[in-house]
Amino acid sequence: MTARRLEQNASAGVPEVPLVDCRGVACPTNFVLVKLALEELDPGGVLDVLLDEGQPMRNVPRSVKEDGHRVVTVEPQEDGSFRLRIRCGA
Amino acid sequence: MAVEEATPLEGLKAELRKESRRAHLNFADLKSGGYIKQTQKDLFTVRLRCPGGRVTTEQMRVASEIAERYGRGTVHLTVRQSIEVPYVHHADFPAVQEMLKGVDWSIATCGPRVRVPTACAGCEYNPNGLGDTQGLCREVDRRFFGTPTGHHKFKISFSGCPIDCFRTREMDLGFQAMVGPRLDEAACNGCTLCVQACEDKALVMQAKLPVRDDSKCNNCGDCIKVCPIDAMLPRQRGWLVRVGGRHGKHPLFAYEVARYVSDEQVFVLIERALAWYRENAEGRERLGAAIQRLGLNRFIDEAIRPTGVEVIDNEADRRPYWTGGNFYDRAAA
Ligand code: SF4
Ligand code: SF4
Ligand code: SF4
């Protein structure tokens, strides 16, 4: 699912930041999707993630931090979800 | 069915066997309580000493071997993290002791004594952990193992965070790790992740900064763990101290009496609480019952305050740490 969404994103001519849409995806699957996407990046590369409020917003940012990456921005979305930009750590 | 006719030699052997069994019964061992009488005649359950539920694989092997040789090939895992070997004949106690000694191990205690303490994994590898529950549990077991109370059992437990998997509210003395957060306002970028992470809604954004309501904060540290740039930092760490809890026929939720207690103060508090219990309880009363009878304030003044720890003196300060529906409510009603 992630791969398909990433492709769609690229084919839409938005080359810069890949997006992982984790809306509707429960913990810890959402984190696994983010983790897999982060593995594709070089250190310093960035990734956007859409997360539901509640448990996903409680858990995923913390796990991302524990793995050595950094959430650089958090933007509330109109549908109540959040868009996080994550910078890949080592 | 024919009654077995014993030859004189066999009769003599049987007598000798009985004799040696009697000689081997060590009553001091029996009294320490690690051997628990079963409904089946002459059979006992051997409770092994497993502080914090942590044993080596070598000890596991010895437990298996004891169960195979002297039990019935099963072990029982107790709710307080012990390994028990059921169906052991008392004649085999000396052999069991010998095998345990070989791996530097011993049986547990029961009766009116300090029981083997329990603990979760704590900060060693649990992502929620805030304190070294295992390390402290081991040391408490080493220092207080089997200390007689003169009244009833005395249970101690350690939880690594407010999720409290090791039910410190139901212990005579419970220690739960805690952390007080503080905000580095200059560093904070207002991302709101800490507000999202706080399940207790103790944080709200005000003028682009997270502001904490201490009356709601249970010191779980989630806001610290989530902050991507370490703008939310630990201000103070230690143990929340709960006393007078118990389960059983008449369960009681503990009182929170002190917070941010250091590792060293934990040992002092155990000593003081035990001394107070010994002096003030009546008969087979548990610590919680003695506190209810004599008053929480008296217990705090006599056993806790003299140690110099940060005492929790009033209900309002206890509120963030308990779940409600316990005897505080009934007492207040
Ligand atoms: S009490 Fe906290 S640290 Fe201990 S096992 Fe439970 S969640 Fe983990
Ligand atoms: S320590 Fe826990 S309860 Fe207190 S503000 Fe942080 S997240 Fe909320
Ligand atoms: S998570 Fe950190 S940076 Fe973000 S609002 Fe909270 S304290 Fe500030």
The verdict on a CB contact (< 8 Å) between B226 and A58 is: yes
Q: Where does B79-155 show beta strands of DSSP type E?
A: 83-89, 118-119
Q: Is B232 in the pocket of ligand 2 (CB under 6 A)?
A: no
Tokens of B125: 């590898």
Residue B196 to residue A53, Cβ atoms within 8 A = yes
* Interface of chain B toward chain A, CB-CB under 8 angstroms: 127, 191-193, 196-197, 199, 222, 225-229
Question: Domain residues of chain A, as ranges?
Answer: 2-87
Q: ipTM of this model? A: 0.81
Residue B195: predicted pLDDT: 97
C-alpha atoms less than 13 angstroms from C-alpha of B87 in its C-beta half-sphere: 10
- Give the minimum alpha-carbon distance from B212 to chain A in angstroms, rounded to a whole number: 17
Q: Give the one of A58, A62, A73 whose C-beta lies nearest to B191's C-beta.
A: A73
- Taking the C-alpha atoms of residue A73 and residue A42, their distance in angstroms, rounded to an integer, is 19
- The CATH class of the A2-87 domain is alpha beta
CA B312 to chain centre: 21
Q: Would you say the pTM of this structure is higher than 0.80?
A: yes
> Which of A60, A62, A67 to probe by mutation at the B interface, max B CB count within 10 Å?
A62
Contact A70 B199 (CB under 8 A): no
Asked if residue B86 has a cis previous peptide bond (ω within 30° of 0), the answer is no
Residues B212-256 have pLDDT tens digits of 999 999 999 999 999 999 999 999 999 999 999 999 888 888 999
Whole-angstrom Cα distance, residue B296 to residue B310? 16
DSSP annotation of B79: T
Q: If you measure from the C-alpha of residue B131 to the centroid of ligand 1, how many angstroms do you get, rounded to a whole number?
A: 10
Residues 6+ positions from B302 with CB-CB distance below 8 Å: B276
Q: Which of B237, B239, B123 is nearest to B182 (CA)?
A: B237
3-state SS class at B119? strand
DSSP string, chain A: -HHHHHHHHHHTT--S--EEE-TTPPTTHHHHHHHHHHHTSPTT-EEEEEE-TTHHHHHHHHHHHHTT-EEEEEEE-TTS-EEEEEE---
Q: Which domains does chain B have, with CATH numbers?
A: 25-101 (3.90.480.10), 118-181+236-321 (3.30.413.10)
Partner-chain residue, chosen from B192, B196, B228, that has the shortest CB–CB distance to A58 = B196
pLDDT in the model for residue B324: 47
Q: What does the pLDDT look like over A4-36, one tens digit per residue? A: 444 444 455 555 799 999 999 999 999 999 999
pLDDT at B78 over 90: yes
What does the pLDDT average to over B282-310? 96
For chain A, percent of residues with pLDDT exceeding 70: 83
Is A27 one of the catalytic residues? yes
Asked if the Cβ–Cβ distance from A62 to B225 is below 8 Å, we say: yes
Band (A3; pLDDT cuts 50, 70, 90): very low
Closest CA to B128 of B224, B52, B227, B202: B224
- Tell me the pLDDT tens digit for each residue of B247-283: 988 888 899 999 999 999 999 999 999 999 999 999 9
Cβ–Cβ under 8 Å, residues B123 and B131: yes
Residues with Cβ < 8 Å from B178, sequence gap 6 or more? B130, B131, B161, B162, B218, B219, B220, B221, B237, B238, B239, B240, B259, B260
Considering only CB atoms, A65 lies closest to which of B192, B199, B226, namely: B226
